[in-house]
Amino acid sequence: MIVKTPPLGWNSWNTFGSNINEQLIREMADAMVETGLRDAGYEYLVIDDCWSLRERNEKDELVADPEKFPSGMKAVADYVHSKGLKFGMYSCNGTLTCAGYPSSFDHEFIDAKTFADWGVDFLKYDNCNRPLSYSGRLLYKRMGLALANCGRDILFSACNWGAEESQNWIKETGAHMWRSTGDINDSWASIKDIAEKQVRLLPTNGQGCFNDMDMLVVGMGGKGNVGMGGCTLEEYRTHFSVWALFGSPLMIGCDIRNMSQEIKDILMNKEILAINQDPACRQPFAVPMIQEDWFAWKAWVRYLEGGDIAVGFFNFGDTPLYPTLALTEIGLGRVSGKALRVRDIWADKDLGVRKDHLSVYMEPHCCVMLRCSVVDA
């Protein structure tokens, strides 16, 4: 199975934590269709930790908690599939999951078969409670091999938070995406921290195995399992833009049954999603300009398939900024005889043709996302 663009979907953890059940998952499947998220490309509906009983059955298999999931996981998977979505589940490489439920250590092949029998299409695989003598590097390979031999295409989403320098070996394991940083929470500080830590890992991102910056907090509004202070709309827009431009999988974490129009407009912005899903999956580069502190201001540029250029300006600082990007820094400039036709995506505005530079204005924590086409000067 080859995954060509960053996976898109929804995951239960950020808002619901252990408070999950069959009814909720069915409602989420319905909401993915009714809100238009599915048609915008969000495909996977993923149940995170806390879905199982505390004990395996007599055949040593994992068992869905019958109080939470009275119809069983196969029925839930069938419902999710009937909505034109794909179904994801969660396990872990240790003896217990991060929340203390039975986990797949030494049960990799039997669990992969169980997931395949239920109709699972995506497995998030965590990194807690590992016996000390086993490396993640080995245990992720075990599950990668088990999934590759389970008789069903199951996307392997490794979740080891970038531990053990996993950027150096994660592709050995068969992972299709891998958590490159620690857990997100619904605060501006967390968004900023993850974005900054991602920078050195960008060269490892690419088609087939994507750097996962963690589930989105867009729209959480400080509520739910990882809800902290919450963020402003502008901060959510910047968060979404960075994740999209950096080529991360986009797994929504808010309660999609109750999204405001503003939140829908962020999560379903077609032009931002098109950059995230650009088939070339190239890494963005920082334009080497201006100040030492990359958060102060810096443009992130990504060459897209077909010759267009995406440019993201992010103001992670606390004062307004007016950055300028010289076109010579991105391969153009007077001598090329070319210029850029510029579109401001969030403002939904065509800005005309620029020959020398791009200048924008940003309030603190805001961003500007441009899509530019190369034209004759």
Just list the catalytic residues: 126, 183
Q: Closer to ligand GLA at the Cβ: 210 or 316?
A: 210
CA separation for the pair 70, 137 (Å, rounded): 36
Q: 295 — phi, psi (to 5°)?
A: -70, -20
CB 188 within 8 A of CB 220: no
**Tokens representing 117?**
């029998």
CB 219 within 8 A of CB 262: no
From 92-100, 282-290, 321-329, 338-346, give the range in contact with ligand GLA by CB under 6 A: 92-100
Count the site residues for ligand GLA by CB under 6 A.
Answer: 9
- Does position 212 interact with ligand GLA (CB under 6 A)? The reply is no
Q: Closer to ligand GLA at the Cβ: 120 or 345?
A: 120
Restricted to residues 103-142, the positions that interact with ligand GLA (CB under 6 A) are 126
CA separation for the pair 286, 110 (Å, rounded): 45
Query: Residue 221 Cβ, how far from ligand GLA at the closest point, in Å?
Result: 19
Question: What length does the chain have?
Answer: 377
Q: Closer to ligand GLA at the Cβ: 44 or 297?
A: 44
- For 344, what's the count of Cα atoms within 13 Å in the CB-facing half-sphere? 16
Q: Closer to ligand GLA at the Cβ: 154 or 226?
A: 226
- Does position 159 interact with ligand GLA (CB under 6 A)? The reply is yes
Query: Residue 156 Cβ, how far from ligand GLA at the closest point, in Å?
Result: 15
CA separation for the pair 100, 110 (Å, rounded): 19
Please identify which residue in 28, 29, 46, 48 interacts with ligand GLA, judged by CB under 6 A: 48
Write the DSSP symbol of residue 164.
G
Query: Residue 101 Cβ, how far from ligand GLA at the closest point, in Å?
Result: 9
- Does position 98 interact with ligand GLA (CB under 6 A)? The reply is yes
- Does position 99 interact with ligand GLA (CB under 6 A)? The reply is yes
Query: Residue 123 Cβ, how far from ligand GLA at the closest point, in Å?
Result: 12
CA separation for the pair 267, 279 (Å, rounded): 19
The alpha-helical segments, DSSP class H, found in 149-286 are 188-198, 233-245, 261-267, 270-276
Q: Closer to ligand GLA at the Cβ: 250 or 311?
A: 250
Query: Residue 68 Cβ, how far from ligand GLA at the closest point, in Å?
Result: 15
Scanning the structure block, which residue is given the tokens 């830590």? 197
Q: Closer to ligand GLA at the Cβ: 101 or 313?
A: 101
DSSP-derived secondary structure for 250-303: EEE-S-GGG--HHHHHHHT-HHHHHHHT-TT-PPPEE---S-SSTTT--EEEEE
CB 309 within 8 A of CB 317: no
- Does position 213 interact with ligand GLA (CB under 6 A)? The reply is no
Please identify which residue in 8, 9, 13, 178 interacts with ligand GLA, judged by CB under 6 A: 13
CA separation for the pair 4, 6 (Å, rounded): 7
Query: Residue 226 Cβ, how far from ligand GLA at the closest point, in Å?
Result: 9
Restricted to residues 317-346, the positions that interact with ligand GLA (CB under 6 A) are none
Torsion, Cα 167 170 176 179, to 10 degrees, reads -50
Please identify which residue in 183, 265, 271, 356 interacts with ligand GLA, judged by CB under 6 A: 183
From 59-67, 94-102, 104-112, 342-350, give the range in contact with ligand GLA by CB under 6 A: 94-102
> In whole angstroms, what separates CA 192 from the centre of its chain?
15
From 27-35, 58-66, 97-105, 112-120, give the range in contact with ligand GLA by CB under 6 A: 97-105
Q: Closer to ligand GLA at the Cβ: 128 or 304?
A: 128
Residues that bind ligand GLA (CB under 6 A): 13, 48-49, 97-99, 126, 159, 183
